[in-house]
């Protein structure tokens, strides 16, 4: 027994010291020798050393029971009261005792020999129990390690525990097949996490999908190593979000091409996900809102007197960011085009201006801007040299024409407001139609209140018996009353409005006028006494002999009535025998103090040749008669 005690005392605790450990005091727990920090999680798996276990002859059975209890509770390696450190200590102590016994010299003492044999059997039994327990503990340990590996998606720090378990398993049985397989699984997970960490660092540095050491290749490599790895999938989602944010920032800076490029990059990150589609909808909504804002700002600028350039700037920005054919861009472009040519009006718009003394001015129609060839072609039948040479006239801005000739009531209002006496009143007569002779004759007392026969006219009849000066004075009065520029049209403006887009001989084309198109000399017209025209449009009748009430016939393509018929009209130009030195634009050709003025447009008593679009007539400016009236234009 003494020898056994000596062997026990020499074979256990010194063995622990040789292993680099010290005995723990009774009841004291030794701390684990390995702690895997977060920084070490991606480093080479560290070594593990078992905590020192205090082993004596007297506590072997107690330690076996303690180890079995710890194994049952799942406390496998953490301290000197855990299963694996105890089993290792028991196994090592038993093996050392057996080696010491094998080196003892035989003795004659039978009692001593028997004691030695008993000790050897006890050590062997202890070693076997320790080994069996150690194998069970190793199996449980690897199960804990696999559980840690499986929980990494929910708890990334579980890799540290899996690595620690791997270190313990390697220390216990490095060459065992289950340990080797487990270590391979841990190594694979380490490589996955290394790829994830590299991807996260690249993502934090803004290297997402291009350039050296970009994030996406790292995350994709992690998924190649471990399909459906949560951390890698999260990295892909974060990369996608970063690209989407870049796209949104580009959109916030109104760079929608860059934004779309960013979304295209984001769409390549993950498949089967609608995040990019939603982002594209958000950016599209931002774009639509910005486009709408620019359109509204541009339209608002057009309402200001000096806002045209500002509106064009808004349009340029809108065109830069808008898709091709965007309705808002088209609308603003059209509004700017309209403002350029028509101010606050639209072509074809009908309006009236308020008069300072109450009421409204004449109805005006906005004539569209454009171009035409003024004058008669060399081969035009019935034309004269005074209508040549032709010249191209362009109107860069629209113009408002009176919808009809000025009426008797409108001109009377002017006379009553101003007290002016028209030429016919001052002179005491005008030229009127005589039904008995069928001629135009001097009629005493005829004035602008009268009709073509010298009798009082209805209010809606075109005013006649007015001179060119009378007409110009009425336009000046309108300007004073409305605050806008009213005047007589120039000869070029009148012909442009009369033609209304036609370059034919007559405004309607060739031949007889269409039914209801105007008050012309027609073969079917009959005077009150039964007279008929000797030179007229065959087969045409308009139901009138003399002027008709304004707007009795169909308007032309510009919305103007009676431009080619009813009564001829004064224009602003002085008479010139031809157009050789005429202005190249639409301005009136005026010589100060000229006596001869120009009359344009056919009348109720004009021959077919005088109804041509290019026809013009020289008339003394102080002439008043039953065939000539006027209309005004207003600058816009």
Tokens of 394: 């362009």
Tell me, yes or no, if the pTM score tops 0.75. no
Q: What is the pLDDT of residue 15?
A: 36
Q: Which residues contact 220 (CB under 8 A, 6 or more apart)?
A: 232, 236
- Rounded to 5 degrees, φ, ψ at 486 are -110, 145
Is the separation of the CB atoms in 425 and 447 below 8 Å? yes
Q: How much of the chain exceeds pLDDT 90, in percent?
A: 84
Pick the closest to residue 552 from 364, 407, 350, 409 (CA basis). 407
Mean pLDDT to the nearest integer, 185-212: 95
Q: What is the pLDDT of residue 344?
A: 85
Domain ranges of the chain: 2-174, 195-273, 284-342, 364-635
How far apart are the two ends of the chain, measured CA to CA in Å? 131
H-helix or E-strand spanning residue 57: none
- Give the number of other Cβ atoms within 10 Å of residue 143's Cβ: 14
What DSSP line would sit under 142-210, residue for residue? HHHHHHHHHTTTT-TTHHHHHHHHHHHHHHHHTT-HHHHHHHHHHHHHHHHHHHHHHHHHHHHTT--SS
Mean pLDDT to the nearest integer, 321-329: 93
Q: What is the pLDDT of residue 508?
A: 97
Choice among 11-15, 33-37, 411-415, 570-574 with the minimum mean pLDDT = 33-37
Choice among 122-126, 208-212, 529-533 with the minimum mean pLDDT = 122-126
Residue 116: pLDDT band (50, 70, 90) is low
Q: What is the pLDDT of residue 110?
A: 54
Q: What is the pLDDT of residue 489?
A: 98
Is the separation of the CB atoms in 416 and 573 below 8 Å? no
**Candidate CATH numbers 3.30.420.40, 3.40.1390.10, 3.40.50.2000, 3.90.1580.10; the one for domain 364-635:** 3.90.1580.10
* pLDDT tens track for 463-506: 999 999 999 999 999 999 999 999 999 999 999 999 999 999 99
Tokens of 587: 């301005």
* pLDDT tens track for 542-589: 999 999 999 999 999 999 999 999 999 999 999 999 999 999 999 999
Checking if the pLDDT of 82 tops 80, the result is: yes
Q: Which class for 181: exposed (0-12), middle (13-18), buried (19 or more C-beta within 10 A)?
A: exposed
d(CA 590, CA 582): 10
Q: What is the pLDDT of residue 2?
A: 26
Strand arrangement, sheet containing 628-629: 616-620, 596-600, 568-574, 628-629
H-helix or E-strand spanning residue 367: strand 364-367
Is the separation of the CB atoms in 441 and 431 below 8 Å? yes
Residue 371: strand pairing partners: 394
Sign (positive or negative) of CA dihedral 569, 574, 578, 579: negative
* pLDDT tens track for 177-187: 999 999 999 99
* pLDDT tens track for 41-64: 455 567 899 999 999 989 999 999
3-class SS at 440? strand
3-class SS at 626? coil
CA distance readout (Å), 89 to 49, 126, 139, 228, 576: 12, 11, 18, 42, 132
Tokens of 105: 């010299």
Pick the closest to residue 466 from 458, 474, 455, 477 (CA basis). 474
Q: What is the pLDDT of residue 211?
A: 85
Q: Which residues contact 424 (CB under 8 A, 6 or more apart)?
A: 430, 446, 447, 448, 465, 466, 467, 624
Tell me the pairing of strands 429-434 and 596-600: unpaired
């Amino acid at each position: 027994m003494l020898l056994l005690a000596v062997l026990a005392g020499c074979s256990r605790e010194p063995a622990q010291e040789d292993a680099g450990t010290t005995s723990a005091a009774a009841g004291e727990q030794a701390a684990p020798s390995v702690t895997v920090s977060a920084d070490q999680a991606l480093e080479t798996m560290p070594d593990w050393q078992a905590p020192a276990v205090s082993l004596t002859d007297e506590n072997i059975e107690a330690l076996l029971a303690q180890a079995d209890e710890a194994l049952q509770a799942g406390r496998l390696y953490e301290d000197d009261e855990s299963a694996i450190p105890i089993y290792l200590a028991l196994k090592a102590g038993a093996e050392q005792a057996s080696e010491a016994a094998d080196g003892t010299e035989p003795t004659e003492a039978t009692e001593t020999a028997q004691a030695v044999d008993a000790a050897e059997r006890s050590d062997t039994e202890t070693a076997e129990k320790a080994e069996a327990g150690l194998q069970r503990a190793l199996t449980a340990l690897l199960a804990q390690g696999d559980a840690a590996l499986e929980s990494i998606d929910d708890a990334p720090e579980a890799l540290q525990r899996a690595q620690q378990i791997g270190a313990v398993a390697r220390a216990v049985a490095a060459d065992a097949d289950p340990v080797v397989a487990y270590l391979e699984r841990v190594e694979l997970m380490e490589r996955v996490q290394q790829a994830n960490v590299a991807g996260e660092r690249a993502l934090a540095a803004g290297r997402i999908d291009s350039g050296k050491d970009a994030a996406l290749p790292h995350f994709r490599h992690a998924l190649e190593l471990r399909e459906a790895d949560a951390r890698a999938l999260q990295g892909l989602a974060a990369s996608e979000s970063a690209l989407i944010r870049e796209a949104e920032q580009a959109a916030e800076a109104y760079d929608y091409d860059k934004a779309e490029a960013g979304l295209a990059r984001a769409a390549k990150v993950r498949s089967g996900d609608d995040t990019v589609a939603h982002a594209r909808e958000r950016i599209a909504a931002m774009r639509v809102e910005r486009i709408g804002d620019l359109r509204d700002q541009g339209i608002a600028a057009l309402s200001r007197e000096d806002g045209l350039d500002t509106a064009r700037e808004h349009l340029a920005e809108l065109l830069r960011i808008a898709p091709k054919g965007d309705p808002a861009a088209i609308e603003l472009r059209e509004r700017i085009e309209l403002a350029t040519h028509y101010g606050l009006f639209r072509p074809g718009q009908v309006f009236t201006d308020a008069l300072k003394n109450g009421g409204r001015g004449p109805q005006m129609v906005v004539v569209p801007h454009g171009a035409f060839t003024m004058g008669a072609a060399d081969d035009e039948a019935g034309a004269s040299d005074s209508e040549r040479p032709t010249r191209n006239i362009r109107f860069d801005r629209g113009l408002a024409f009176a919808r009809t000739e000025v009426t008797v009531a409108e001109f009377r209002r002017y006379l009553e407001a101003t007290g002016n006496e028209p030429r016919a009143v001052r002179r005491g007569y005008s030229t009127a139609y005589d039904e008995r002779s069928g001629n135009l004759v001097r009629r005493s007392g005829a004035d602008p209140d009268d009709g073509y026969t010298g009798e009082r006219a209805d209010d809606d009849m075109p005013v006649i018996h007015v001179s060119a000066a009378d007409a110009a004075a009425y336009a000046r009065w309108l300007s004073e009353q409305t605050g806008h520029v009213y005047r007589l049209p120039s000869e070029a403006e009148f012909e442009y409005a009369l033609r209304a887009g036609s370059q034919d001989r007559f405004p309607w084309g060739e031949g007889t006028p269409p039914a209801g198109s105007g008050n012309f000399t027609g073969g079917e017209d009959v005077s009150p006494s039964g007279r008929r025209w000797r030179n007229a449009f065959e087969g045409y009748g308009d139901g009138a002999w003399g002027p008709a009430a304004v707007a009795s016939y169909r308007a032309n393509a510009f919305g103007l009535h009676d431009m080619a018929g009813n009564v001829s009209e004064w224009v602003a130009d002085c008479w010139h025998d031809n157009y050789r030195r005429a202005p190249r634009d639409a301005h009136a050709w005026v010589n100060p103090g000229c006596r001869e003025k120009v009359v344009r447009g056919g009348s109720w008593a004009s021959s077919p040749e005088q109804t041509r679009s290019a026809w013009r007539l020289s008339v003394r400016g102080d002439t008043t008669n039953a065939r000539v009236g006027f209309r005004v234009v207003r600058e816009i």
